Amino acid sequence: MYGLDCSLVLAAVAGTGIPVSEAGFSYVILAFLGFGAIIVFLSFQYEKNRTQKFKEIADQVRLSFEEKGDGWISGLENQFPLFSRGRSKRIRNVLRGKTKNAEISIFDYRYVTGGGRNSSTHKQSVILLQSEGMELPAFAMRPENIFHKIGSTLGFQDIDFPNHPTFSNKYLLQGQDEHLIRDLFSRELLKFLEKGTPICLQGCGNRLLYFRHRKRIKPNELKEFLEGGMEILSRLQNASGV
């Protein structure tokens, strides 16, 4: 899992000006390997404890719990941009339940982009909400950064609202049917999204994804996270006439 480039180790040690014998170099290698093993162990324990805490919460609030949900990914890839990116995709710590308005699934999702030393692992907590009768146009909304602003000047899509410059500066909004998306994002919804922590939304048909870009919640943040998702769902249901 952790590759070790001996030339880099030699260069690092040589930079200290300390002579290194063959035996000494072996100790350096062992130290690096030992450090890597400790990191792997601590990461494993952290994820194990995280899973246990979410399982306990699920029992307390009467939600079902599944440790793994990778079988869902193929069914989500064609609907949502989040699941079409990268490789080594995994869904973990799935909590599921149902209200009178929606089916709720909350889970950890991770995927990998790039390769070798340039690979990056992206992790986020996600809420998937499904509401019968809701019909959303396909759209994706995420916090806007400088590269998105440059892209929009070059002609890449960014649906802005002239009467809501705060929202337009805060978020990148994209989708094929711009007219339907503009109708969905009512003045009330735009004003609501202008406030608070930036979030990501992706919608398609009767399904909505709610998450924060590359951020996993702590178990004790679950209630607040779910309330945020349900608030957005309620506003989108009202806008789409459900």
Give ∠ CA 45-216-96 in degrees, rounded to 5: 90
Confidence of residue 4 (pLDDT cuts 50, 70, 90): very low
Under a CB-based contact definition with an 8 Å cutoff, are residues 4 and 29 in contact? yes
Overall number of domains in the chain? 2
Q: For residue 207, what pLDDT is reported?
A: 97
Around Cβ 10, how many Cβ atoms within 10 Å?
A: 13
Same-domain pairing of 83 and 181: yes
Same-domain pairing of 140 and 197: yes
DSSP annotation of 83 reads G
Q: What would the mean pLDDT of 34-46 be, rounded to a whole number?
A: 72
Q: For residue 13, what pLDDT is reported?
A: 46
Closest listed residue to residue 238, CA positions, set 186, 179, 177: 186
Among residues 28, 43, 60, which one ends one of the domains?
A: 60
Strand 200-205 and strand 207-211: pairing?
antiparallel
Coil, helix or strand for 201?
strand
Alpha carbon 135 to its chain centroid, in Å, reads 23
Q: Is the pLDDT of residue 10 over 80?
A: no
Q: Is the pLDDT of residue 241 over 80?
A: no
Same-domain pairing of 1 and 76: no
Same-domain pairing of 182 and 214: yes
Q: For residue 25, what pLDDT is reported?
A: 58
Among residues 38, 60, 82, which one ends one of the domains?
A: 60
Confidence of residue 149 (pLDDT cuts 50, 70, 90): confident
Q: For residue 22, what pLDDT is reported?
A: 58
Same-domain pairing of 84 and 101: yes
Same-domain pairing of 27 and 83: no
What is the tens place of the pLDDT at every residue in 134-146?
999 999 999 998 8
* Mean pLDDT score across all residues of the chain: 87
Same-domain pairing of 55 and 69: no
Q: For residue 151, what pLDDT is reported?
A: 76
Between these two residues, 203 and 32, which has the higher pLDDT value?
A: 203
Place of tokens 């399982």: 55
Same-domain pairing of 22 and 75: no
Between these two residues, 158 and 211, which has the higher pLDDT value?
A: 211
Same-domain pairing of 98 and 164: yes
Under a CB-based contact definition with an 8 Å cutoff, are residues 213 and 200 in contact? yes
Same-domain pairing of 55 and 81: no
Q: Is the pLDDT of residue 200 over 60?
A: yes
Q: For residue 8, what pLDDT is reported?
A: 46
Q: What would the mean pLDDT of 27-41 be, rounded to a whole number?
A: 66
Alpha carbon 152 to its chain centroid, in Å, reads 23
What is the tens place of the pLDDT at every residue in 107-131?
999 999 998 889 999 999 999 999 9
Q: Is the pLDDT of residue 49 over 90?
A: yes
Among residues 60, 77, 97, which one ends one of the domains?
A: 60
Q: What would the mean pLDDT of 1-16 be, rounded to a whole number?
A: 48
Same-domain pairing of 139 and 157: yes
Query: The domain containing residue 15 runs over which residues?
Result: 1-60
Confidence of residue 156 (pLDDT cuts 50, 70, 90): confident
Sign of CA dihedral 201, 213, 110, 125: negative
Same-domain pairing of 118 and 197: yes
Q: For residue 30, what pLDDT is reported?
A: 66
Confidence of residue 1 (pLDDT cuts 50, 70, 90): very low
CA distances 8 to 54, 117, 151, Å, are 40, 13, 37
Note the residue count of the chain: 242
Q: For residue 35, what pLDDT is reported?
A: 60
